[in-house]
Amino acid sequence: MPGLGDFWPYIIQGLAFGAMYAVTGTGLVVLYQTTGVVNLAFGAIGCLGAHLAWSMLGGSLSKPTPHAEGWRILAYPLVVVVCAGLTVAYGVFIAPLLARRDPLVKSLGTLGVALLLLGIMKERWDTSKPRALDLPTKKYTVAGGVVTTTQLAALGFAILVVVVVTLFLKQTATGTAMRAIANDRDVSSLLGVPTRRVEALAWLGSGVICGCVFLMLPPLFKSLDQGTLTWFIIGALGGAIVGQFSSLTVTFFASMAIGVIESVLTPFSDSFQFMSDFRKMTPFVVAVAAIMWISRRRTVVLAGREMR
């Protein structure tokens, strides 16, 4: 059985991954609330942005972790620009074509985008060799454990995003418009809310969040593996599902808990091998349990209304 001190590095690591889950979950929730789309292409778009930055940094197989020098420092903002641009492009040009469909079909559309981008990445970038995209980082020793600035930045960014987005939705006119659209799109439109513009803003916000997440995620994973990064979204859905795609606070805490649980099961490899082996199932187990709990009462939809 591992000692308490053995857990410390894993708790830090778990908080950092939980923070990434939380930020991703926030991006998903805001977009779902406004447009009814669960953006399952979030990971693929972010992964493409990270790969473009890697190439701009002069990435090659002989230099798996390139450094930013001179104008190449622009590679980091490029991740955010690419992610925001692609997300808005989808939101403005393609998403309206599926706007009248149910959330399931809208979300399946984003799966098509994910496959499209993943295919391009697999063709353009050699997947057989390990690659990484690092941020300039420093290491600190806190209570006997090593903490990196990337981990601290991830945690701080998650808290900042949740607070800012919550305040934005509650205190600003655009935020109120977003909540109104989430409540009833047609009535909001009749009342003069510019639905298209507000939805485009939600896509933009989601894209910026995506870019920021994929600035920090490759250094945390220490890899640019396309499959891992693209389908990171499936794990990140766990927190959003617990928050029922509506509560940012619940999404934040659930995501942090998932990240920490997933990470602290690692040191059990000696005594309880299966816990360590199956630790990556944590988001899925939590999400499935949450869905079962949410739907513990059977409902049917009649004339657009849920009946219990």
Stretch of 21-29, 47-55, 114-122, 146-154 lying at the interface with other proteins (CB under 8 A): 114-122
Binding residue for other proteins, selected from 184, 234, 249, 272, defined by CB under 8 A: 234
Phi, psi of 102 (to 5 degrees): -75, 165
Phi first, then psi: give them for residue 139, nearest 5 degrees: -115, 140
CB of 18 to other proteins, least distance (A): 18
Please report whether residue 254 would count as binding other proteins according to CB under 8 A: no
| 212 or 217: CB nearest other proteins | 217
Q: How many residues bind other proteins (CB under 8 A)?
A: 52
Stretch that binds other proteins, among 97-105, 128-136, 160-168, 259-267 (CB under 8 A): 97-105
Which residues lie across from 148 on neighbouring strands?
Answer: 139
For helices 75-89 and 42-56, the axis angle rounded to 10 degrees is 150
Given candidates 1, 171, 300, 308, which one binds other proteins under the rule CB under 8 A? Answer: 300
Q: Looking at 62-70, 92-100, 172-180, 249-257, which segment touches other proteins (CB under 8 A)?
A: 92-100
The residue within the footprint of other proteins, chosen from 5, 58, 61, 97 (CB under 8 A), is 97
Question: Interface with other proteins by CB under 8 A: which range of 14-22, 101-109, 154-162, 246-254?
Answer: 101-109
Does 278 help bind other proteins (rule: CB under 8 A)?
yes
Instruction: Name which position in 1, 4, 190, 302 contacts other proteins (CB under 8 A).
Output: 302
Chosen residue from 11, 81, 111, 250 binding other proteins by CB under 8 A: 111
**Piece of 62-70, 153-161, 162-170, 235-243 that binds other proteins (CB under 8 A):** 235-243
**How far, in Å, CA of 65 to CA of 230, rounded?**
20
25 counts as binding other proteins under rule CB under 8 A: no
Residues 163-222 close enough to bind other proteins by CB under 8 A: none
Q: CA 149 to CA 33: how far, in whole Å?
A: 33
In the complex, the smallest distance separating the C-beta of residue 156 from other proteins, rounded to whole angstroms, is 29
Binding region for other proteins (CB under 8 A): 38, 94, 97-98, 100-105, 107-109, 111-120, 122-123, 227, 230-231, 234-235, 237-238, 241, 277-278, 280-281, 283-285, 287-288, 291-292, 294-296, 298, 300-302, 307
